[in-house]
Structure 1
Amino acid sequence: MLPYRAMLASHGVKQSMSRKGNCFDNAAIESFFGTLKSEYFHLEAPKSIDALELGVDDYVHYYNRERIKLGLRVSVR
């Protein structure tokens, strides 16, 4: 959207874009945001922007350091 792109440019933000119809460069972050919303935001909606910022910060720490990722587990026999 042109207004969105103008707002980004006015703040010095460079938009990340790939070729039309190629969403693979965004797949990892889209997956993370989906998980963030289902495991954090939809369970307990924050009451303020400060609470949201703190909650997301805590969730990112949990996601990177504590959350069990089945794809990374090694089976022991």
Structure 2
Amino acid sequence: MTTEHGITRSMSRVDKCIDNAPMESFWSHYKDEAYYGQYFKTYQDLTSSVDWYIHFYNHQRYQTKLNSLTPVEYRHQAA
């Protein structure tokens, strides 16, 4: 399915499971905060929810580990 959309799946190296940690964490937060308890009538509804959450996660969701900033604010602070 990914190749149909021009996406190439890849992983860095064998036995480097730590590479997966950021994505596992993101999906865990998404499921807890935006997925569980929801009913999506269409695939489009689900993808819209994921798109909304990605924006929310990066622009509105304050994170303690980032000095109570959003990821975008934290990145701009370094610039």
TM-score scaled by length of structure 2: 0.67
What is the CA-CA distance between 1:30 and the residue it aligns to? Answer: 0.9
Quick one: percent identity of the two aligned structures? 35
Q: Structure 1 unaligned segments of length 5 or more: list them.
A: 1-6
Q: Confirm whether residue 23 of structure 1 aligns to residue 42 of structure 2.
A: no
Higher relative contact order (CA 8 A, sep 6+): 1
Q: Structure 2 unaligned segments of length 5 or more: list them.
A: 69-79
Mapped partners of 1:43, 1:25: distance in 2:
29
What is the CA-CA distance between 1:15 and the residue it aligns to? Answer: 3.1
User: Which stretches of structure 1, 4 residues or more, deviate above 4 A after TM superposition?
Assistant: 10-13
Q: Say which one has the larger Rg.
A: 1
Aligned length: 66
TM-score scaled by length of structure 1: 0.68
Q: In the alignment, which residue of structure 1 is the partner of 2:64?
A: 70
